[in-house]
Amino acid sequence: MRKLIVFNHISLDGYFVGENGDSSWAHTGGDDPEFAKWQAENASGEAQFLFGRVTYELMASYWPTPEAKEQNPVIAGTMNKMPKVVFSKTLDKATWNNTKLLKGGLVQETKKMKAETGPDILIFGSGKIISQLAQENLIDDYMIVINPVVLGKGRTMFEGIQEKRGFKLTKTRAFKNGKVVLNFQTA
């Protein structure tokens, strides 16, 4: 059975996107060589990506570009070659290579994907997707990068969760740029 893993950046006040969907604050600190190496190592693995429409459109507008390939060649290579699934009721087609568009059935389709053989499934961004799948206890692991910034307003990954959830801390790592990575498993 494949694992379903969330990878997201959050602010000190718990937001994964700021007001109006801004996530530019999460892309700072790349001048820390240790953090840059950690990012490249994480991007070199195998995974299937799962996105909601908003995150998919954001990713698809950047990673296939020459700019992305020049600035982040390892991550761009991974993002462009790995299989991707986007859940959207409004998209007519998914044009980013290796992307499958699903129009509904998030929970059922995710259960099917988890039961298949293959690499783990990774969710970036996609707060609505995360909250729905967390409600159904389908997420196995969370890799959260805490950024040294307070946004004041924004959205959490867990909007709409109806009951308290417990997690087990499995790993931590701090970087000189102030970012701290916390790995959790669902308790």
pLDDT tens by residue, the chain, 187 residues: 899 999 999 999 999 999 888 888 988 877 899 998 888 788 777 899 999 999 999 999 999 999 999 988 888 888 899 999 999 999 999 999 999 999 989 999 999 999 999 999 999 888 899 999 999 999 999 999 999 999 999 999 998 888 888 999 999 999 999 999 999 998 8
Question: Quick one: tokens of 86?
Answer: 């986007």
Of 3.40.50.2300, 3.30.70.270, 3.40.50.300, 3.40.430.10, the CATH number of 4-186 is: 3.40.430.10
**What are the structural domain ranges in the chain?**
4-186
- CA 31 to chain CA centroid, nearest Å: 21
Give yes or no for a contact between 85 and 48, defined as CB atoms under 8 angstroms apart: yes
Question: Quick one: tokens of 79?
Answer: 């993002």
Give yes or no for a contact between 16 and 127, defined as CB atoms under 8 angstroms apart: yes
Dist. CA 57–CA 59, nearest whole Å:
6
Q: In sequence order, what DSSP letters do the residues of 100-120 get, joined into one string?
A: EEE-S-HHHHHHHHHHSSSS-
Question: Quick one: tokens of 155?
Answer: 């959205």
